[in-house]
């Protein structure tokens, strides 16, 4: 069967399908839909990878089977996260766009429970819920699921991974025994089999592809590095892929936040997604990611479950997951909707044997690759820029100035002109990588600290300033503030590190006099702002570790901070994401100018102040 008509769907749904532009049912849809539409109601276990169209595989049959004329809740879909919950709800609404009177309601935590109860009361034929909130509403008598005829456990393996087993058991005990249960899962660990046995009667099992197998559109690569080079390796992988649009997985919320912050500070458009952020912050980050304003989304496994973005080019395993099975879910975030994707793993020597275990699970082998060298990256970036220039539509506003420009370059050969032109965009990037060492582990003597490839360090001046987050600054605000006050250029202030009551920042040494002179008698909000040169010469690079050491310089309060060094970091990161947690281009990041799309008007990094319009745009 190769059309939706042939699967037996009704006219209203077929109209919806046409509107959506679905042409051909996917494999899991071809297998599940006719089966579920058959007169006799059956239980079903369907195993299929992410991105294979499972929502429609249960959504269409459910929409066709329920009685839309009735206001009784007849269908219940449980799904692991709020993101997925909303996504399924929206999909079902789109599928059923022509089904008059259809009411699908999403129920999930972090949003008003009484609003959701009210929406249900208005008559929801289908409820899509996360287990936690669902259980809560049942216990408060806010929903009635005693007439459910169809229940779906979507992403069952994920729900069980997340510890929802008891909630699910509890919820299902409030539904009639004679309902049908449809279980959808990407993998089939033991717990899923147990659930299936417990709640289902003689289920039909369908499998698309091999059980637990990774999507075939995804290639798997691993990179062996010294554990301490992990972050540098990550940056290089990103730099070697100028059009990267990726999810980066870390093991803990802390690492997630830290890696995202470091990336942002290093000028990448990155954002963090983890459970310590408020719902609002997570929504903002996801929105920016969807709009391609964030190129690198750093996420925990749990938080990433709801990510439904189809055009992710790379998944980067910054650290391997604790449960090796989780790798399948991670890599399944790329290579969706018929596209190809790459799943990269950064491993240290001690973890490399895990690669073998993963290969057994995904039934595919990994390519062992070397972290790109500085010169590889420079080449990639140059060519990417050349390519971008080549395909850029000419702006004819320039025509009227052409004569004067030509005059200026009258004696410049074409090759020379090209080199000059590229140098404008490229020098900082080039300098950064010029002196860098390779990151492979083989190089046991050479790879003394990655941080050393920071060519500018000796030329920097580091300052202490007695304003911090309690004065309303985050690093972006402070950077803007300094630039404005000192009338400096876009890249003149860098490595801004905001603590609670004080901060650090760097400029080129040449600006030191100007900075100190300006702040000799300067008041902000009625109090004197004091800036002095930081004396900590031991810092390998301004920023993180060095910053923490520097904290001791300040009197009072620093002890507390030392007790919980992450606390302020996390909260400042959180606040930051509310205001746009994504990287503003700072030093070294000119390469971002040839990033993903043409939608960002302020891409040209040579235009001074170009980050301002971008950032304010992002804030809205
Ligand atoms: P899964 O739940 O298996 O991860 P989804 O149901 O979320 O997959 O579907 C993945 C994407 O593919 C969605 O954007 C969905 O709209 C799209 N899709 C689903 N079925 C089809 C189809 N038959 N033709 C084209 N696109 C489809
Ligand atoms: Mg799904």
What would the pLDDT profile of 95-152 be if each residue is shown by its tens digit?
Answer: 999 999 999 999 999 889 999 999 999 999 999 999 999 999 999 999 999 999 999 9
Decide: pTM greater than 0.75.
no
> What is the per-residue pLDDT for 135?
96
Ligand sitting nearest the alpha carbon of 53? 1
The band of 583, judged by pLDDT with boundaries at 50, 70 and 90, is very low
From the alpha carbon of 52, which atom of ligand 1 is closest?
3
Inform me whether the pLDDT recorded for 450 exceeds 80: no
Domain range summary for the chain, segments of one domain joined by +:
4-207, 218-373, 375-433, 460-586
* Cα 448 to middle of ligand 1, angstroms: 47
What is the C-alpha to C-alpha distance for residues 264 and 269, in angstroms, rounded to an integer? 6
Ligand 1 pocket check: which of 48, 49, 56 to mutate, most ligand atoms within 8 Å of Cβ? 56
Q: Whose CA is nearest to atom 15 of ligand 1?
A: 53
Q: Whose CA is nearest to atom 13 of ligand 1?
A: 53
Q: Give 299 or 530, the one with higher predicted confidence.
A: 299
Inform me whether the pLDDT recorded for 155 exceeds 70: yes
Average pLDDT of span 437-462: 52
The band of 374, judged by pLDDT with boundaries at 50, 70 and 90, is confident
Average pLDDT of span 155-169: 87
* Cα 50 to middle of ligand 1, angstroms: 9
* Cα 133 to middle of ligand 2, angstroms: 19
The band of 499, judged by pLDDT with boundaries at 50, 70 and 90, is low
From the alpha carbon of 4, which atom of ligand 1 is closest?
23
Cβ contact 321:255 at 8 Å: no
From the alpha carbon of 50, which atom of ligand 1 is closest?
4
| 405: nearest Cα among 390, 392, 420 | 420
* Cα 174 to middle of ligand 2, angstroms: 24
Same fold, 218-373 and 460-586: no
Architecture of domain 4-207: 3-Layer(aba) Sandwich (3.40)
* Cα 475 to middle of ligand 2, angstroms: 38
Inform me whether the pLDDT recorded for 470 exceeds 80: no
Q: Whose CA is nearest to atom 12 of ligand 1?
A: 53
Inform me whether the pLDDT recorded for 337 exceeds 90: no
The band of 224, judged by pLDDT with boundaries at 50, 70 and 90, is very high
From the alpha carbon of 308, which atom of ligand 1 is closest?
7
2-35 tens-digit pLDDT: 799 999 999 999 999 999 989 899 999 999 999 9
Mean pLDDT, the chain, rounded, equals 79
Cβ contact 313:245 at 8 Å: yes
Number of Cβ within a 10 Å radius of residue 254: 15
Ligand sitting nearest the alpha carbon of 46? 1
Q: Whose CA is nearest to atom 9 of ligand 1?
A: 53
DSSP result, 516-566: HHHGGGEEETTEEE-EEE---TT-SSTTHHHHHHHHTTSSSSHHHHHHSHH
The band of 607, judged by pLDDT with boundaries at 50, 70 and 90, is very low
Residues with CB under 6 A from ligand 1: 22, 24-26, 29, 48, 50-56, 308, 310, 337
* Cα 51 to middle of ligand 2, angstroms: 7
User: In a 3-state reduction of DSSP, which class is residue 214?
Assistant: coil
73-92 tens-digit pLDDT: 999 999 998 888 999 999 99
Residues 6 or more apart in contact with residue 61 via CB below 8 angstroms: 32, 33, 36, 37
From the alpha carbon of 28, which atom of ligand 1 is closest?
3
The CATH classification number of 218-373 equals 3.40.50.300
Inform me whether the pLDDT recorded for 610 exceeds 80: no
Inform me whether the pLDDT recorded for 198 exceeds 70: yes
The band of 306, judged by pLDDT with boundaries at 50, 70 and 90, is low
| 355: nearest Cα among 220, 500, 465, 486 | 220
**Residue 411, burial from CB neighbour count under 10 angstroms (0-12, 13-18, 19+):** exposed
> What is the per-residue pLDDT for 50?
77
Please report, rounded to a whole number, the percentage of residues in the chain having pLDDT higher than 90: 40
Architecture of domain 460-586: 2-Layer Sandwich (3.30)
* Cα 26 to middle of ligand 2, angstroms: 13
What is the C-alpha to C-alpha distance for residues 565 and 52, in angstroms, rounded to an integer? 43
Residues 6 or more apart in contact with residue 239 via CB below 8 angstroms: 372, 377, 380, 381, 433, 591
Cβ contact 461:509 at 8 Å: yes
* Cα 380 to middle of ligand 1, angstroms: 33
- Max avg pLDDT among 247-256, 278-287, 405-414, 488-497: 247-256
> What is the per-residue pLDDT for 601?
29
> What is the per-residue pLDDT for 119?
96
Inform me whether the pLDDT recorded for 545 exceeds 70: no
Cβ contact 293:618 at 8 Å: yes
Ligand sitting nearest the alpha carbon of 310? 1
Average pLDDT of span 557-584: 29
Q: Whose CA is nearest to atom 22 of ligand 1?
A: 22
- Max avg pLDDT among 105-114, 276-285, 317-326, 594-603: 105-114
415-424 tens-digit pLDDT: 999 888 888 8
Residues 6 or more apart in contact with residue 327 via CB below 8 angstroms: 317, 320, 321, 358, 361, 362
Inform me whether the pLDDT recorded for 458 exceeds 60: yes
From the alpha carbon of 55, which atom of ligand 1 is closest?
6
Q: Whose CA is nearest to atom 23 of ligand 1?
A: 25
| 346: nearest Cα among 328, 366, 375, 323 | 366
Inform me whether the pLDDT recorded for 563 exceeds 70: no
Inform me whether the pLDDT recorded for 365 exceeds 50: yes
From the alpha carbon of 57, which atom of ligand 1 is closest?
6
Inform me whether the pLDDT recorded for 608 exceeds 70: no
Rg (Cα) of the chain, in Å, rounded? 27
What is the C-alpha to C-alpha distance for residues 282 and 451, in angstroms, rounded to an integer? 31
Residues 6 or more apart in contact with residue 377 via CB below 8 angstroms: 236, 239, 240, 433
Ligand sitting nearest the alpha carbon of 128? 2
Ligand sitting nearest the alpha carbon of 154? 2
Ligand sitting nearest the alpha carbon of 28? 1
* Cα 347 to middle of ligand 2, angstroms: 29
Q: List the beta bridge partners of residue 246.
A: 296, 314
What is the C-alpha to C-alpha distance for residues 611 and 491, in angstroms, rounded to an integer? 10
* Cα 321 to middle of ligand 2, angstroms: 21
What is the C-alpha to C-alpha distance for residues 9 and 383, in angstroms, rounded to an integer? 50
* Cα 468 to middle of ligand 1, angstroms: 47
Q: Tokens 């089977």 correspond to what residue?
A: 65
């Amino acid at each position: 069967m190769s059309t939706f008509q042939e699967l037996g769907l009704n006219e209203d749904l077929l109209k919806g399908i046409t509107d959506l532009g679905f042409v051909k049912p996917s494999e899991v849809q071809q297998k599940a839909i006719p089966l579920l539409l058959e007169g006799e109601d059956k239980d079903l276990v369907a195993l299929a990878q992410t991105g294979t169209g499972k929502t429609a595989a249960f959504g269409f049959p459910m929409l066709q089977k329920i009685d839309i004329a009735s206001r009784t809740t007849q269908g219940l879909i449980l799904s692991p996260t709020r993101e997925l919950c909303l996504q399924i709800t929206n999909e079902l609404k789109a599928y059923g766009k022509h089904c008059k009177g259809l009411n699908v309601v999403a129920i999930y935590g972090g949003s008003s429970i009484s609003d959701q109860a009210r929406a249900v009361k208005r008559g929801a034929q289908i409820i899509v819920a996360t287990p936690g909130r669902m259980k809560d509403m049942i216990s408060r008598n806010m929903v009635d699921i005693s007439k459910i005829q169809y229940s779906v456990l979507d992403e069952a393996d994920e729900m069980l991974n997340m510890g929802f087993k008891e909630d699910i058991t509890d919820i299902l005990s409030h539904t009639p025994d004679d309902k049908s249960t449809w279980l959808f899962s990407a993998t089939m660990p033991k717990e899923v089999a147990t659930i299936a046995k417990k709640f289902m009667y003689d289920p039909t099992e369908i499998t698309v592809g091999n059980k637990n197998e990774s999507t075939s559109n995804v290639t798997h690569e691993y990179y062996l590095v010294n554990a301490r080079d992990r972050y540098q390796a990550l940056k290089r992988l990103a730099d070697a892929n100028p059009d990267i649009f990726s999810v980066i997985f870390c093991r803990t919320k802390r690492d997630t936040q830290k890696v995202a912050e470091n990336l942002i500070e290093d000028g990448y458009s990155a954002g963090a997604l983890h459970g310590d952020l408020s719902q609002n912050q997570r929504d903002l980050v996801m929105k920016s990611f969807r709009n391609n304003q964030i190129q690198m989304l750093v996420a925990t496994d749990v938080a990433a479950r709801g990510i439904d973005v189809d055009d992710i080019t790379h998944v980067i395993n910054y650290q391997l997951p604790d449960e090796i099975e989780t790798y399948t879910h991670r890599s399944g975030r790329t290579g969706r909707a018929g596209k190809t994707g790459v799943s990269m793993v950064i491993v240290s020597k001690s973890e490399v044997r895990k690669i073998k275990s993963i290969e057994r699970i995904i039934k595919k082998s990994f390519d062992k690759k070397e972290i790109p060298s500085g010169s590889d990256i420079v080449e990639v970036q140059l060519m990417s820029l050349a390519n971008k220039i080549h395909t850029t539509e000419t702006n004819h506003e320039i025509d009227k100035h052409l004569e004067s420009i030509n005059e200026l370059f009258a004696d410049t050969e074409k090759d020379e002109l090209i080199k000059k032109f590229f140098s404008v965009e490229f020098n900082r990037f080039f300098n950064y990588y010029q002196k860098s060492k390779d990151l492979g582990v083989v190089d046991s003597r050479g790879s003394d600290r990655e941080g050393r490839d920071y060519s500018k360090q000796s030329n920097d001046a580091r300052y202490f300033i007695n304003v911090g987050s309690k004065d309303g600054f985050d690093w972006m605000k402070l950077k803007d503030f300094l630039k404005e006050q000192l009338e400096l250029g876009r890249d003149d202030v860098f490595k801004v590190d905001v603590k609670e009551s004080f901060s650090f920042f760097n400029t080129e040494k040449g600006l030191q006099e100007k900075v100190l002179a300006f702040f000799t008698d300067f008041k902000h909000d009625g109090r004197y702002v004091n800036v002095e040169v930081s004396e900590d010469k031991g810092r390998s690079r301004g920023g993180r570790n060095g910053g923490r050491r520097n904290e001791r310089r300040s009197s009072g309060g620093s002890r507390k901070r030392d007790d919980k060094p992450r606390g302020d970091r996390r909260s400042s990161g959180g606040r930051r994401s509310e205001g746009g947690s994504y990287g503003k281009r700072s030093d070294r990041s000119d390469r971002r100018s040839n990033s993903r799309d043409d939608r960002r008007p302020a891409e040209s990094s040579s235009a001074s102040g170009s980050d301002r319009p971008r950032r304010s745009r992002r804030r809205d």
